[in-house]
Amino acid sequence: MKVLIIEDEVDLLIAISNFLTKEGFVCELAENFFKAGEKLAIYEYDIILLDISLPDGNGLKLLDPVREFQKLAGVIIISARDSIDDKIRGLDLGADDYMTKPFHLSELNSRIKALLRRKQFDGTDTVTFNEITVGTSGRSVSVNGVPVILTRKEYDLLLYFIVNRERVLTKEAIAEHLWEDNIDMADNFDFIYTHLNNIRKKIRLAGGTDYIKTIYGTGYKFSDR
């Protein structure tokens, strides 16, 4: 999978590309409008991450060459502006998703994977982890073929864990994934325990293993090691 990252803040560019390389993507980088335009016209990408505040032009304008040359690519806008107008404009111009800075790498990962599934690049809409299978189009979960009924939040949480397997996830990152905009109100994250415990219970009841590991009481990791 080939990803083009368009972002003018070099530290951010490197952090994202290191992470995505580790996740198995081939990353190309463009730190300005001009370079991005060039690359878009020459190469083909599966995923394009687009910062809209670039020093030499408005990133939204790059959506024109994207529509022209990158018909199959999925586009995720990453912007520091959280104005609804920008969001709507970006999506109207053909972007598939919009993320407001700051965001977690695990969140970026789960959005990219969701986009790939939606675009059917993986050729499948199921995500599996050992005995656990998640059917993303029907939002179904099964353990060794035994269906498990989860609530919407529990399902979201499980999928987030599986997509970000073997990664330490902070409670903040989890809460943000589940509640996006409303997260600023959550000073304590007790509500996450409830969801986690329900998932653990339901998976175990269906004969599965509890892969959710607690790291020093403040983080979690979905791991079979």
Partner 1 sequence: MKFLTRINRNYLILFSAVLMAVTVADYFVLHLVIMHGAREKLIAREILVRQHILNTGEIPNLHPEVEVSESSGEPANVPLFREVTVFNPVENENEMYLEYSDIININDTWYSVKLRQALLENEDLILILALTIFILLSAAFIVSYFITRKTNTTVWADFEHNLHEIESFRLNQVSKINLVGSDTEEFMRLNRVISDLTEKLSSDYRALKEFTENASHEIQTPLTAALMNLEEILQDNLQEETFRKVTATIRSLKRLSSLNQSLILLTKIENRQFEPDTMVSLLETAKKKAEEFSAFIETGELKLKISNEGDFTVSMNSQLAEILIGNLLSNAINHNIKGGEINLSVNTGCFEICNTGQPNQLSDDTIFDRFTKGTLGSSGLGLAIARKICEIHSLDIHYRKSEFHCFYIQHKS
Binding site for partner 1 (CB under 8 A): 9, 11-12, 15-16, 18-19, 53, 80-82, 84, 100-106, 153, 167-168, 170, 172-173, 178-179, 182, 184-187, 190-191, 194-195, 215-216, 218-219
Q: Which residues does 50 contact at the CB level (< 8 Å), separation at least 6?
A: 6, 36, 59, 62, 63, 66, 75, 76, 77, 78, 95
Least distance to partner 1, CB of residue 53, Å = 5
The token duo for 199 is 């998932």
CA 162 vs CA 49, 128, 165, 191, 218: distances in Å: 22, 8, 5, 20, 19
Q: Which residue lies nearer to partner 1 by CB, 16 or 141? A: 16
CA distance 171 to 218: 6
Q: In whole angstroms, how large is the CA radius of gyration of the chain? A: 18
Least distance to partner 1, CB of residue 223, Å = 12
Q: Which residue lies nearer to partner 1 by CB, 129 or 220? A: 220
CA distance 32 to 201: 49
Q: Which residue lies nearer to partner 1 by CB, 123 or 217? A: 217
3-class DSSP state for residue 150? coil
Q: Which residue lies nearer to partner 1 by CB, 137 or 151? A: 151
Least distance to partner 1, CB of residue 207, Å = 28
Q: Which residue lies nearer to partner 1 by CB, 56 or 122? A: 56
Q: Which residue lies nearer to partner 1 by CB, 72 or 184? A: 184
Element holding 19 (H helix, E strand)? helix 10-22
Least distance to partner 1, CB of residue 20, Å = 11
Residue 203 exposed, middle or buried by CB count within 10 Å (0-12, 13-18, 19+): buried
Whether residue 13 contacts residue 101, with contact meaning beta carbons closer than 8 Å, is answered with no
Least distance to partner 1, CB of residue 173, Å = 8
Least distance to partner 1, CB of residue 177, Å = 13
Where residue 190 falls (left for φ over 0; alpha for ψ -120 to 50; beta otherwise) is alpha
